[in-house]
């Protein structure tokens, strides 16, 4: 069986380019004892992938050149040499940017697809998406009905879910996004109470108008100037939750911290960072809540699906330039 994969051939200098990657074909090996072969159905395009492309070994590691690009995915077992997984099982795991993968069964999770499609485990039920949004908004941010909540990169996957969870918990929700179309998406599709266009100029002033009494909880996916603008507008005893900083990922050697961090002690506020795996013990609770919200029509994550493994590099470029709304996936 042949496999087709997207491999990294050069470390990006700044923003990733399609030329940093190459599409190659190879023979798929037979699974050895304890392994399975998986036909990949969907791959999750996540911001953390960008950090793995550099030689610098960060929190998510550094991938090798000429290897399939790091990516989480879902697929179906097509050959098995394991007692734990059978042909036809739906699975989730680090499948990589390829049409087929051979991995130890122990690295994969068998999925319950009785009421949701497998790709939901990359989106609303995904560790890097829905569970991350839940962990940051509920476990870390302790969102409540009296809060005015602001979410950056709100039209992206994590941001879209974070906004909806805050709304479900009764908060007033303001999303930050780039452009009038994305702001309309936030208010008309995601259900935000208001949206602020960071590209329209003077973000701090716009946030002051949208939240005149201050921001109680900020869920940050961006960092940089957006974080600084929000810090100017936090309320007393605010919580600033750091989920990510996509504005910094193209130059991790020169990460810029917040210039307005002194607003935190001035207003008796807190800045809290997290990684979703720290809350792994709560994953069953998170998944149960999200499933219930999905079934009740209270939470929905729109998908942007790019067809074909040949376009995996284009999807990475799209994510880093903010070209998608909702969950960005590649269907190999």
pLDDT digits (tens, 9 = 90+) for 252-309: 777 888 999 999 999 999 999 999 999 999 999 999 999 999 999 999 999 999 999 9
**Whole-number pLDDT of residue 126:** 96
- Print pLDDT tens along the chain (332 aa): 899 999 999 999 989 999 999 999 999 999 999 999 999 999 999 999 998 998 876 666 788 999 999 999 999 999 999 999 999 999 999 999 999 999 999 999 999 999 999 999 999 999 999 999 999 999 999 999 999 999 999 999 999 999 999 999 999 999 999 999 999 999 999 999 999 999 998 999 999 999 999 999 999 999 999 999 999 999 999 999 999 988 887 777 778 889 999 999 999 999 999 999 999 999 999 999 999 999 999 999 999 999 999 999 999 999 998 888 999 999 99
- Alpha-carbon distance values, 148 to 27, 139, 274, 277 (Å): 54, 17, 21, 27
Count of all residues that appear for the chain in the document = 332
Output phi, psi for 81, to 5 deg: -120, 35
Assess whether the region 2-123+301-331 and the region 130-277 belong to the same CATH fold.
Answer: no
CATH of domain 2-123+301-331: 3.90.180.10
Burial of 14 (0-12, 13-18, 19+ CB in 10 A): exposed
Taking the CB of residue 212, how many other CB atoms lie within 10 A of it? Answer: 9
pLDDT of residue 148: 98
Report d(CA 239, CA 170) in Å as an integer: 17
Would you state the torsion angle of the CA atoms of residues 283, 189, 308, 29, taken in this order, to the nearest 10 degrees?
Answer: 10
CA distance 243 to 128: 10
Q: Return the pLDDT at 250.
A: 78
75-106 burial by CB neighbour count: b if 16+ within 10 A, else e? Answer: bbbebbbbeebeeebbbbbebbbbbbbbbbbe
Number of neighbours of residue 130 by Cβ within 10 angstroms = 33
Residue with tokens 């208001």: 194
User: Residue 303 in 3-state DSSP?
Assistant: strand
Q: What is the pLDDT of residue 252?
A: 72
**Residue 323 pLDDT:** 87
**DSSP states of 135-194:** IIIIIIT---TT-EEEETTTTBHHHHHHHHHHHHTT-EEEEEESSHHHHHHIIIII--SE
- C-alpha to C-alpha distance for 171 and 187, rounded to whole angstroms: 14
CATH of domain 130-277: 3.40.50.720
The pTM of the full predicted model, rounded to 2 decimals, is 0.92
DSSP state at residue 43:
E
Domain spans in the chain, listed from the N-terminal domain onward: 2-123+301-331, 130-277
User: What are the φ/ψ torsions at residue 91 (nearest 5 degrees)?
Assistant: -135, 160
* H/E stretch holding 104: strand 100-104
Classify each residue of 249-268 as buried b or exposed e, where b means 16 or more C-beta atoms within 10 Å of its C-beta: bbeeeeeeebebeebbeeee
Closest to 217 (Cα-Cα) out of 259, 157, 261, 270: 270
- DSSP bridge pairs for 93: 73
């Amino acid at each position: 069986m042949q496999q087709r994969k997207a491999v990294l051939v050069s470390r990006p200098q700044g923003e990733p380019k399609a030329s940093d990657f190459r599409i190659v074909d190879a023979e798929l090996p037979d699974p050895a004892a304890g392994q399975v072969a998986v036909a990949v159905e969907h791959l999750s395009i996540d911001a953390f992938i960008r950090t793995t492309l550099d030689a610098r070994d960060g929190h998510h590691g550094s991938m090798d050149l000429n290897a399939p690009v790091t990516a989480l995915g879902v697929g179906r077992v097509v050959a098995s040499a394991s007692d734990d997984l059978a042909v036809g099982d739906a699975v989730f795991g680090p499948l990589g940017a390829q049409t087929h993968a051979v991995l130890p069964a122990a690295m994969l999770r068998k999925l319950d697809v009785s009421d949701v499609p497998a790709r939901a485990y990359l989106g609303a039920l995904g560790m890097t998406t829905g569970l991350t949004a839940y962990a940051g908004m509920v476990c870390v941010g302790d969102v409540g009905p009296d809060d005015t909540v602001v979410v950056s990169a709100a039209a992206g996957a994590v941001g879209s879910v974070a906004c909806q969870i805050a709304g479900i918990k009764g908060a007033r929700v303001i999303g930050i996004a780039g452009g009038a179309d994305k702001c309309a998406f936030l208010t008309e599709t995601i259900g935000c109470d208001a949206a602020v266009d960071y590209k329209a100029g003077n973000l701090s002033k716009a946030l002051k108008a949208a939240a005149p009494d201050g921001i109680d909880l900020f869920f940050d996916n961006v960092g940089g100037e957006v974080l600084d603008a929000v810090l100017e507008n936090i309320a007393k005893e605010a919580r600033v939750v750091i989920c990510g900083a996509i504005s910094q990922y193209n130059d991790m050697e020169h990460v810029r911290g917040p210039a307005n961090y002194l607003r935190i002690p001035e207003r008796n506020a807190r800045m809290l960072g997290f990684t979703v795996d720290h809350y792994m013990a709560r994953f069953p609770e998170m998944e149960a809540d999200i499933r219930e919200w999905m079934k009740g029509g209270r939470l929905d994550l729109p998908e942007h699906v790019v067809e074909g493994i040949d376009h995996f590099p284009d999807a990475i470029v799209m994510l880093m330039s903010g070209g998608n709304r909702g969950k960005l996936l590649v269907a190999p």
